[in-house]
Amino acid sequence: MNVKKLLGRVQKISFLILFIFTFATIQGYGQEHGVDYNTYYQFPISCGIEYQMLNPFGSYGGTFNIFDISAQVRYPIPTIPVFQPTAHIGMMVFDNQDINDPKKWDHNHYYLSAGVLYSNRFSKNFEIGAEALLGFSQAVFPDLVPEKGPQGSANLLFEIGGRICLNPSYNFSIDINPNIKYLASLSPLKDFDGLIFGIGFTGQYRFGEDPDSPAAIIRSIRFGETSFPPLFAAMQSYYAKHPVGKISITNIENHPISDVKVSFYQAGYMDSPTPSASIPELGAGDSKEVDILASFNEEVFKTEGTTPLTGEIIVTYTSNRKPAEQKQSVSYDLYDKTSLTWDDDKKVAAFITPADSALRNYTSFIRQSCKDEVIPAYCDKLQIAMQVFHALGEIGCIYQVDPTSPFASVQEDPMVIDSVSLPRNTLKRSTGDCDDLTVLYCSLLETVGIETGFITVPGHIYPCFNTKVPGREYKSIFPDRDMTINVDGELWLPVEITMVGKANFLDACRKGMEEWIAYEESPKMRGFYITRTSQELYRPVGLKETDLGLQYGSQDAIAQSFKDDMSKLINIIVMDYSEKAKKSGKKEDYNRLGIRYAKFTQYSPAEKAFNRALYIDDRYLSARVNLGNVYFLKGEYSRALNMYLDVLRRLEMEGKEESSQAMLTLMNASRTCYQMEDYDEAKKYFAMAKEIDPDKAEQYSYLSLGEGEGRSAAAGDISREIIFAGEEE
């Protein structure tokens, strides 16, 4: 055969091999990951017949038709089945095509060879590999020397090649074997030495039992008792890390099984099985109780009412080096996202949904309604909480006992299934029982960044919020310490939300504290839970947000209710300071009274209080600084600056030009110059203050900037950033 024809044949064979390999890869793609097909479909021994078409690389001095037929046996090594020692016995036939003397060079090679085959099964139906063989052949020439009879020639035989194997069933396989042989004569006859290219086809019979046949399926696990209570969509995030049920598995074999993995799958509500347990080895006869976890997807939030479901517990393992899988069906009820049981009060946090855009829109409307009535220097979180309370009352939101499952009854029995309305639904309906109103109120406050919580007492639940006011400063929000709960040094205010629409905010807070204090002697009967901490365990339910189309109520009515309630609160606070000042007659108490008036924007009584302190002691510089502050807040900046400079001169005369009071006064002077747009003077006073207390001055570094730069860097309304003196005396 000439080289051109040989190359053409090799090209065709290469395309065939490429096609088969590509097809094999496609077939193997998507098979179950983690399955070792070589082990799973391992066979003890195989026998086969191979036919090969052969083409020499060199010329034999004529044209020959060459083929090879052989019998083969393979033995996969049990511990490494990809390596398979193999033996071949066969015959190569060299048929001379020379028309002048066709029989002279006809001969047969009878050979025996042995070697090793590497064959990797990468899918159920396909393998690919390579082999190397070494053997001995005896060539017989019947007509080479007719007068002497058949002549023999011994040869060494080497062979290397690849194999692509199609497995239509476990017991039968078909191989394609491109290979190269090398013949080396041990006799003087060297005419047929050299390389020979071959392409072979093999049919193999593999002994053993198909592991996929019904009789061969491994059943090493016996499922025992299963515990699967009802599940709740609202607890979706909780179930991913905490058990939804239990199942017992037992190894019924007389040998251990290994790599046992337990997972749970619910079609339609999971993207993939949820891993629950991994057991390295389960001994013969051993049992193991496994906690089942469940990572549900967002589809669980779309269910309505009670949905009966049947899921699968999947156990995979290795038994006698073969992978196996068993499944057990479990039935249970899935309750929709409004349902829960009260075995853990923290569960209600899952219904607090501050990410709901409908709630965010509503709180934005409320704050816009009341923006002109806000007291800048008073606790902003308390004011927002008050605004939301009155806004809910304005739209007619009221407390209504749940007729089917009152909170008092369901709280006593943790097995009773209760329903908690989502905040958006309660807002739209404008009625709810104590748990509905609690999650609504907390959700609304959380939308504006106010930290919330909830309190439970026998038969009742109601909200609370963090004012962020330090515990020692309780009088800055209310004279009575017992109106707040000190949690980790910060003051929380409870709100009896069932009084919405029926009472003012202060009365609701008083009632909330009364209910809290009522169980002071029995603290185990009351619970205090912070929303964000609880949501680390019970994350908010998923929502498909839609516009509620709410009528938000009258902005004027909301603002007026807020203003009236704030006036009552302000009167209570300043009355406490006023009575104390009158009773003591001390300059410090009149100074504090003036500060309180000033912070509540009541500038005229503030001036009177500071002047009263100065009447008692004309050298009392704190009152002078604060008088300057009143002028500043009224917009009388020149008058304020003169007062600050007078204080600085007095401090210098007393040798206190580097005192904390000097630093405070310098900062106020810098702010005043900044407001007057005298930026050079503002920088000067700021630099002097920074020399006294660099850390504190750094909080107001915008004062050291030029026109425009500072205003963009300043946070909030800088006209309100004024420091009062003597507040903590």
At 527, list the tokens.
């619970």
Left, alpha or beta for 634 (phi > 0: left; psi -120 to 50: alpha)? alpha
- Per-residue pLDDT band for 7 (boundaries 50, 70, 90) equals very low
Q: Give mean pLDDT, residues 518-533.
A: 94
At 463, list the tokens.
């909200």
Q: Give mean pLDDT, residues 599-624.
A: 94
Say how far apart CA 448 and CA 466 lie, in whole Å: 13
At 318, list the tokens.
């290795």
Say how far apart CA 349 and CA 535 lie, in whole Å: 6
Asked if pLDDT for residue 277 goes beyond 60, the answer is yes
- The lowest-confidence range among 6-20, 432-446, 597-611, 634-648 is 6-20
To the nearest whole number, what is the mean pLDDT of the chain?
A: 88
The pLDDT, as a whole number, for residue 27 is 45
Q: Which amino acid is residue 262, in one-letter code?
A: V
The pLDDT, as a whole number, for residue 1 is 45
Say how far apart CA 694 and CA 244 lie, in whole Å: 57
At 467, list the tokens.
């004012």
Give, as one character, the DSSP assignment of residue 273: -
The pLDDT, as a whole number, for residue 148 is 82
CA angle 121, 217, 258 (to 5 degrees): 75
The pLDDT, as a whole number, for residue 405 is 59
Say how far apart CA 294 and CA 268 lie, in whole Å: 13
At 161, list the tokens.
């090649």
CA angle 380, 385, 391 (to 5 degrees): 125
- Per-residue pLDDT band for 22 (boundaries 50, 70, 90) equals very low
pLDDT tens per residue, range 672-718: 999 999 999 999 999 999 999 888 877 777 676 655 554 444 444 55
Give, as one character, the DSSP assignment of residue 302: G
**Which has the closest alpha carbon to 192: 299, 106, 272, 296?**
106
Q: Give mean pLDDT, residues 356-370.
A: 94
Q: Which residues contact 259 (CB under 8 A, 6 or more apart)?
A: 278, 280, 316, 317, 318
Say how far apart CA 496 and CA 144 lie, in whole Å: 116
The pLDDT, as a whole number, for residue 150 is 87
The pLDDT, as a whole number, for residue 705 is 64
Say how far apart CA 214 and CA 37 lie, in whole Å: 18
**Domain formed by 3-206, architecture:** Beta Barrel (2.40)
Class of CATH domain 221-335: mainly beta
The pLDDT, as a whole number, for residue 720 is 56
Q: Phi and psi at residue 440, in whole multiples of 5°?
A: -65, -50
- Per-residue pLDDT band for 25 (boundaries 50, 70, 90) equals very low
CA angle 260, 263, 267 (to 5 degrees): 145
Please answer whether residues 436 and 421 qualify as being in contact, where contact means their C-beta atoms are separated by less than 8 angstroms. yes
| CB hemisphere CA count around 302 (13 angstroms) | 7
At 571, list the tokens.
């009167």
Asked if pLDDT for residue 134 goes beyond 60, the answer is yes
Q: Which residues contact 686 (CB under 8 A, 6 or more apart)?
A: 666, 667, 670, 697, 700, 703, 704
Asked if pLDDT for residue 728 goes beyond 80, the answer is no
Say how far apart CA 303 and CA 325 lie, in whole Å: 31
Please answer whether residues 366 and 388 qualify as being in contact, where contact means their C-beta atoms are separated by less than 8 angstroms. yes
Asked if pLDDT for residue 323 goes beyond 90, the answer is no
Say how far apart CA 355 and CA 539 lie, in whole Å: 12
217 or 456: which leads in pLDDT: 456
Q: Which amino acid is residue 344, in one-letter code?
A: D
Q: Give mean pLDDT, residues 275-297.
A: 95
Largest CA distance in the chain: 152
Asked if pLDDT for residue 542 goes beyond 70, the answer is yes
The pLDDT, as a whole number, for residue 713 is 41
The pLDDT, as a whole number, for residue 24 is 47
Please answer whether residues 419 and 598 qualify as being in contact, where contact means their C-beta atoms are separated by less than 8 angstroms. no
Helix (H) / strand (E) element for 691: namely helix 679-692
- Per-residue pLDDT band for 418 (boundaries 50, 70, 90) equals confident
The pLDDT, as a whole number, for residue 28 is 46
At 290, list the tokens.
């496994």
CATH number for the 619-720 domain, one of 1.25.40.10, 3.30.300.130, 3.30.300.30, 3.40.640.10? 1.25.40.10
The pLDDT, as a whole number, for residue 699 is 74
- Per-residue pLDDT band for 13 (boundaries 50, 70, 90) equals low
Please answer whether residues 175 and 202 qualify as being in contact, where contact means their C-beta atoms are separated by less than 8 angstroms. yes
Q: Give mean pLDDT, residues 266-294.
A: 95
Q: Give mean pLDDT, residues 23-45.
A: 65
The pLDDT, as a whole number, for residue 211 is 78
- Per-residue pLDDT band for 4 (boundaries 50, 70, 90) equals very low
The pLDDT, as a whole number, for residue 262 is 96
Please answer whether residues 548 and 424 qualify as being in contact, where contact means their C-beta atoms are separated by less than 8 angstroms. yes
The pLDDT, as a whole number, for residue 29 is 43
Please answer whether residues 663 and 693 qualify as being in contact, where contact means their C-beta atoms are separated by less than 8 angstroms. yes
Asked if pLDDT for residue 30 goes beyond 80, the answer is no
Q: Give domain limits for the chain.
A: 3-206, 221-335, 342-553, 619-720
